[in-house]
Structure 1
C-alpha cells in the first residue's frame, strides 16, 4: 500500500486540505501518523515562543526601498521608547516650513515602512515556529507497512474497520482503526487467530478508535493471520467470549 508523503501528513495534521485526505481516512497507518503529528503541533502552539528581532540592516533596506531618509540610530524597540525619543528631541526653531501635502505623503510612506517592518518581524517569528514544528514532527519514526486487512463487521451495530501491521524502530505493531467505538457491556479485546479460529493470541484492549498494540516477538503472522475484535465481559475469564464485532485476514 502506498502511503502519503510526510509533507502531506503534516499538512493534514495542521488542518490543511490536501490531496490524499480520503486515503488518510481509510489508512490506519497514515491516521496514526497524522494523530502523532497533530499532537506535536498542539504542543508547539501551547509553547511560549520567544519573539525574533528583524535581521540587521532591515530598517535601512526598508528606507532605501521607500526612498526615505534612513534613521541614524537603532529603531525603537517599543512604543514607549519611540515616545521617549520624540520627547527628548529638541524642537528646531530655524527649520524651513514643509507644506502640508509633503508632510502627509511622508507620513503615508512612513506608515507603509512600519507596516513592512512589522510584517518582516512577524515572518521571522512564523519561520521560527515553522522550524520548531518541523523539528518536532520530523523526530517521529517512520513506519513500514508489513500487512493490512479489511475487518468485516459481524454485528449490525458497527461498520467496517481496518487493520495494519507496521514496523517502527524494529517493533511490529498492529494498528486497528474504526470510525467510532460502539458502546458495549464490558470492553473490546483484540486478537490474532489461526485460519481455523481454534488457536488465538490476545494482544490487548482497544480503547480508542485508532489503537496500536505491540506484537509479541517471534509471533508468526502466517500462523495467526486473522484479526478479531471481541466484546469481553468483566468476568475474570481470559478466554475469548465468542462475541466478535470485527474480523478480517491480514494480507502482505
Structure 2
C-alpha cells in the first residue's frame, strides 16, 4: 500500500474530492490520517475572520522579534502585530457578507478612478495602503507567522519512526542504476519500506519485491512510478526470511509473476 503524496494530502485538506480510493486510504492509514489532520487544522486556522486560537498554537512574541531584528525594522513597528490569543478573542466578529445583488438590467459601468467619490489619490499615484509601511509590514508578519504555524503543526503530526534495517541497492546485469532502501517502524507498529533509485531504467514499469535468500520465495510490495516510493510491509512478514530488496523491470503483460529482470538489488542489514 503506497501512502498519499504531500500534494494529495494538501488538496484533501483544502476540501478537494480526489475520489473513493484516496478517501478509503485516509480512513485505513493512521500515518496519512495524522498528516491530513495537521494540514486540515492549518486550513481552518487560515480562514477569513478572527483566528481560532484552538486550531494552531499561537507563536510567541519572540517570533515577531526575530523577524523585526532580521529585517532591521524601526522601533515604530516593534510591537507584535498579531498579539496574543486573548486579544484575538476580544476582537469584534467579522461583518456578515453582503447579500448578492440581482441585476435589473444591463450592468452599470464602474466610474473611473478620478470619478469615484471619497477616493483620495496619493501624490505620485498608487493606493494609500500600499504606501503605508505599517500596513504591509503587518500583512507580511501575519503571513510569516501563519507559515510558521503550518510548519509547526505538520511537524507535530509527523509520526516518529524507528529504523529497523537498511541496504544499498546495486545494479543487476546490464543495468547501471544504484539506490538505497530502509525499513522503518512507526509508533503504532506499522512497518514501511522506503526505496530510492538514482534513475528509472525500466522499459515497462518498476515493481518492488522482498525475496528469500535462495530466491525461491518472494513478496510483491507494489509498483514504484518514480525514482522513490514508500511501501507497507505486510504484518507478520519476517524480514529475516525475506531480506533481499529487489526492484524489477516488469512488462505490461498482465502477468503478476516476477519478470526475472532485476534492475537493482540489496540485502537488508538489521
The alignment's TM-score, normalised by the length of structure 2, stands at 0.50
Say which SS state the counterpart of residue 228 (structure 1) adopts.
Answer: strand
Contiguous gaps of at least 5 residues in structure 1: 1-36, 56-60, 66-82, 87-113
Shift of 1:124: 3.1
- 2:231 and 2:139 map into 1 onto residues whose CA distance is 45
Please, which of 103, 128, 144 is the counterpart of residue 126 of structure 1?
144
Say which SS state the counterpart of residue 119 (structure 1) adopts.
Answer: helix
Is 1:220–2:234 an aligned residue pair?
Answer: no
- 2:215 and 2:253 map into 1 onto residues whose CA distance is 22
Is 1:248–2:262 an aligned residue pair?
Answer: no
Shift of 1:222: 0.6
Shift of 1:118: 3.9
- 2:245 and 2:237 map into 1 onto residues whose CA distance is 14
Partner of 1:208: 226
Higher share of residues assigned helix: 1
Residues 121 and 220 of structure 1: CA distance in aligned 2, closer, same or farther (over 3 Å): same
Is 1:170–2:171 an aligned residue pair?
Answer: no
Is 1:239–2:249 an aligned residue pair?
Answer: no
- 1:187 and 1:125 map into 2 onto residues whose CA distance is 42
- 1:238 and 1:121 map into 2 onto residues whose CA distance is 56
Residues 183 and 240 of structure 1: CA distance in aligned 2, closer, same or farther (over 3 Å): closer
Shift of 1:232: 1.8
- 1:158 and 1:84 map into 2 onto residues whose CA distance is 71
Q: How many residues align?
A: 161
Partner of 2:133: 115
- 1:115 and 1:181 map into 2 onto residues whose CA distance is 51
- 1:229 and 1:121 map into 2 onto residues whose CA distance is 49
Partner of 1:182: 201
Q: 1:188 touches 1:230 (CA, 8 Å); kept in 2?
A: yes
Please, which of 162, 185, 192 is the counterpart of residue 144 of structure 1?
162
- 2:237 and 2:220 map into 1 onto residues whose CA distance is 12
- 1:197 and 1:208 map into 2 onto residues whose CA distance is 25
Partner of 1:62: 76
Shift of 1:193: 1.2
Tell me which structure has the larger Cα radius of gyration.
1
Say which SS state the counterpart of residue 235 (structure 1) adopts.
Answer: coil
CA deviation vs aligned residue, 1:117-167 (integer Å, no higher than 9, x gap): 642442233212311232134322232211101011114443211111111
Q: 1:52 touches 1:121 (CA, 8 Å); kept in 2?
A: no
Is 1:159–2:177 an aligned residue pair?
Answer: yes
Is 1:230–2:248 an aligned residue pair?
Answer: yes
CA deviation vs aligned residue, 1:154-183 (integer Å, no higher than 9, x gap): 144432111111112321111111122224
The alignment's TM-score, normalised by the length of structure 1, stands at 0.53
Shift of 1:116: 4.9
Partner of 2:87: none
